[in-house]
Amino acid sequence: MRFNVSSKLKFSHTDPPSESPIATAIEHQLLKHNLTDTIFRREYTAPTEWANFRIDIVLSVGERRIGIECDGADFHDEFRDELRDSLILGSGLVDTIWRLPGADIHNHVHDCLCLIALYDRFIFDERTRAVFMKQCSEIVRAHIPGPHERILMAVDSERMPARSGYIDLRRRTRTKTYSPIGQHWRYLFEYAQGHRDISFSELYAMRLEELQQANKP
């Protein structure tokens, strides 16, 4: 059962409060828009054969779903994140996963939302996309979506070369739209399918050890 919040977003009444302050910041921004066709899920449960994961935010319209992971600075393991995303995508639980660093959400939330709207247009209506385009930086406004997994760009020349002048996002997808050629997540999911009898932690440790052995001189 779902219900409307301020007639702007549809929330699931069973979802717990967000565990992430930066995910809450995204939620507050979305609440400003009249997204009556978009269903918003917090702390979305994503069960796979290797582990049950949680996705910070899932936005869906009809059968199409995107996940948004808000990565804080306290703990961030890029390889672990990629393996985790691979299992979720390969299991068909969402169509696309965005990874937004907390610093980018804090400093450039409108740029982050505008990029999501450029790549995954179905989530937002035309009016909302137009508002995002007005709010974002000029370089994002001029960005042409393409088959990129990593979206790195300088968005604030006044803060350069400080880190806060950049955004550095990841977008992994199982859709054909703006899908990178030879996506690594597909290879990782196929690798995981060969080891269905172990947990995610064991899979991660095994794969990491193999990589370390391969990189030894």
- The 3-state DSSP class for residue 75 equals coil
Per-residue pLDDT reduced to its tens digit, 75-98: 678 899 999 999 999 999 999 999
Going by their DSSP bridges, the two strands 2-5 and 9-12 should be labelled as antiparallel
Query: Kind and range of the H or E element at 131?
Result: helix 126-135
Which pTM value belongs to this model?
A: 0.90
Model confidence over 29-72: pLDDT tens digits?
A: 988 888 888 999 999 999 999 999 999 999 999 999 999 999 87
Q: Directed axis angle between helix 21-30 and helix 102-119, to 10°?
A: 40
Burial of 149 (0-12, 13-18, 19+ CB in 10 A): middle
Coil, strand or helix at 96: strand
Rg (CA), the chain: 18
